[in-house]
Structure 1
C-alpha cells in the first residue's frame, strides 16, 4: 500500500480548512438491526481463510482517504467517481464500489458504511482490536478537493504537525501507522506493487514495528522510517514493538477519533454490531506463531 494509499498517508492530509472534531456524546438511539446484517456481509467480503484480505486492507485505508481531506468522513471517496479515480485512490476502486453497493442494498448512508466497514476490517484481521463506532453522518454532496495528500517521504515534523492540527498526538500517530501491519503498497514502487509492510499482512500483529526497526520488512515507506527516527513518535513505535496490548490500547481510540472527523452529527453507537475478534472466532496456529515471532523480533529491536 503506497504511503498515500496507506493509513498514514491519508492521515497526513494538509487541509486548508479546519475540520471540526465533535465531542463524544451519549448516543440517543439504539443501533438499527440492519447493521448486524451488514456485518455478516462484510465478514464475507473481508475474510479469506481466517485472515483479512485485500478488501479489508482497502477498507481500512479508505477511512483515512475519506476522513482527512476537507469535509471529513462524508463518504465522498465512494460516492464520486471523480474522487475515486484519482491515482492515490484508484487501487481501492473495487472495494469502494462494493461498499457503496452494500449501502444501497441496505438503505444506509455511504459515509456510515465506510466508517463501519473500516472498523469491521480491523477486527476482521486476526488480533485486530474493536473500535467504538458510530453512525448518523450526512453523505457528501460533492467530491473532496484535490491535492491534499502528502508525499510518501514526508518528514516526521510535518507529519506530526498535520496530525496535531486535527487533534492527534504523537502517540496517536505512532499507533495509527501500525495499521501498516496489514497494508500493501501499490504506487510508490509500481515494480513491486502488492509488496507488504511486514511478513504477515493478513494478521494484525506487531511484526510491522519490529521489522521496520530491524530493517527486515518486505517494503517500508520513507515516511515510516522518518517517524521511527523521530524522538516523539519513535519511542512509541519501539514500545509497540514489544507490547501488542499497548498498541491496541492506543490504536482503537485513535481510530475512533479519526472516524469522527467532520461536521457534528447525532451519534448512534453501533459498536455492538461489529463481529467478535477473528482470533476468538478461529484461533489458528498461524496467529499464535505471528505473535510469538513479533514479540521475539520486538525484543531484539529494543535491545
Structure 2
C-alpha cells in the first residue's frame, strides 16, 4: 500500500512539474508553446496593457513610436549571412557581449522603451525578443491607419550584441543604404515602404537643436503624408517648420535606386500599407525559424 502511495505521489510531482514547464516563465518559455499550436492567451493580456500605454486620445504616442523604433533596431541589424542567428533576439535590450548594444550611439533614446519591454517580459513571463516584436506590431496597428503585421511568437533571447554597422546611418548615401538593405534581402520597394515608418517618428539626437520635431506633420497617424512632404523637401518645395527631414530620406526620395518606388507611395495609402506589411513581416522573423513558432496575429485584435 505504501508503495502504491509513493508511486502516486511521484506521478503527481511529475505531472505538476510538466505543467509548470508548459506554462511557467523561463528562459525556455518561447520554445514551450501551446501544444495545439495556438497563441498563448498571455499575449491578449499584453495587448490590453499596450492599448493603454501606446495611445493618447486617438493618436499613438511617443512610447508607441519608440516601440516601433526598437523593433527596427533589434531585428534590422541582421543580414542574410547570419541565417538563424541574431536578428530579432532581444539583444537590443539584453546584449552585453562584446559590448552593450543599447549603449551604442545609434540606439540612443531607446533606453526608456527597452526598460518598459524588459519589465513587461518579466511581468508576463515571455522572452524579451518576443516582447520587442509584439510591442512594435501592437504600436503599428494602434496608430490610426496602421496595418496589422503578421506576428509569430517563439523567439529566444540572446545577450550577444548585434554586429556593428548593420543599421542605416541618416547621413549615408542612397546607394550605400540601398546596398545595406539588399544584404538583408530587401528590394527597392521594400526599402521605400519601410522608410514610411518615419510617418510616426520624431527625432531628438540627429540635431539636438531641433529635438522633438517629427518626420511629417501628422506623427500621431500612420499615413502617407511623410512621402509627400519628404519628396517636396527633396525637390526644393516648402517644408512645414515643425518637420525635420532626415538627410538619408531626402536622398532616397529622389535616388536612382529607390526614388520611383518612394514617389509611388505619395497619395497611395493602400499600396504603402500592403508593401510595408509585407516587408515588416519578413523583418520580424529575421534570425528565426517560422516553423518553430506560433501565429499570434489574433492577439493584436
TM-score (norm 2): 0.79
Corresponding residue for 1:76? Answer: 91
1:224 pairs, out of 231, 249, 258, with 249
How far apart, in 2, do the equivalents of 1:65 and 1:172 lie?
17
Does the Cα contact within 8 Å between 1:28 and 1:268 map onto a contact in 2?
Answer: no
Per-residue deviation, 1:83? 1.9
SS in 2 for 1:91: coil
Corresponding residue for 2:118? Answer: 100
How far apart, in 2, do the equivalents of 1:83 and 1:28 lie?
36
Question: Structure 1 residues 80, 181: CA separation in 2 closer, same or farther (over 3 Å shift)?
Answer: same
1:173-188 matches, cutoff 5 A: 173-188=191-206
Question: Structure 1 residues 148, 236: CA separation in 2 closer, same or farther (over 3 Å shift)?
Answer: closer
How far apart, in 1, do the equivalents of 2:94 and 2:213 lie?
28
Considering only CA atoms, is the larger Rg found in Structure 1 or Structure 2? 2
1:128-139 matches, cutoff 5 A: 128-139=146-157
Question: Structure 1 residues 243, 147: CA separation in 2 closer, same or farther (over 3 Å shift)?
Answer: closer
Deviation track 1:9-38 (CA, whole Å, cap 9, x = no partner) reads xxxxxxxxxxxxxxxxxx971101000000
Corresponding position: 1:260 with 2:260: no
Gaps of 5+ in 1: 1-26, 276-303
Per-residue deviation, 1:161? 1.0
Does the Cα contact within 8 Å between 2:175 and 2:257 map onto a contact in 1?
Answer: no
| Count of aligned pairs between the two proteins | 249
Does the Cα contact within 8 Å between 1:181 and 1:204 map onto a contact in 2?
Answer: yes
Corresponding position: 1:246 with 2:271: yes
How far apart, in 2, do the equivalents of 1:238 and 1:270 lie?
33
How far apart, in 2, do the equivalents of 1:221 and 1:141 lie?
31
Does the Cα contact within 8 Å between 1:134 and 1:268 map onto a contact in 2?
Answer: yes
Corresponding residue for 1:109? Answer: 127
Question: Structure 1 residues 240, 147: CA separation in 2 closer, same or farther (over 3 Å shift)?
Answer: closer
User: Which 4+ residue blocks in structure 1 deviate beyond 6 angstroms?
Assistant: none
Q: Which has the higher contact order (CA 8 A, sep 6+)?
A: 1
Deviation track 1:56-81 (CA, whole Å, cap 9, x = no partner) reads 11111111111123511100111247
1:61 pairs, out of 69, 73, 95, with 69
SS in 2 for 1:35: helix
Question: Structure 1 residues 28, 248: CA separation in 2 closer, same or farther (over 3 Å shift)?
Answer: farther
Gaps of 5+ in 2: 1-34, 79-85, 234-238
How far apart, in 1, do the equivalents of 2:125 and 2:88 lie?
18
1:114-153 matches, cutoff 5 A: 114-153=132-171
Does the Cα contact within 8 Å between 1:28 and 1:267 map onto a contact in 2?
Answer: no
Structural RMSD (CA): 1.7
How far apart, in 1, do the equivalents of 2:153 and 2:131 lie?
8
SS in 1 for 2:105: coil
How far apart, in 1, do the equivalents of 2:159 and 2:104 lie?
18
Corresponding residue for 1:47? Answer: 55
Does the Cα contact within 8 Å between 2:70 and 2:113 map onto a contact in 1?
Answer: no
Does the Cα contact within 8 Å between 1:119 and 1:131 map onto a contact in 2?
Answer: yes
How far apart, in 1, do the equivalents of 2:149 and 2:225 lie?
21
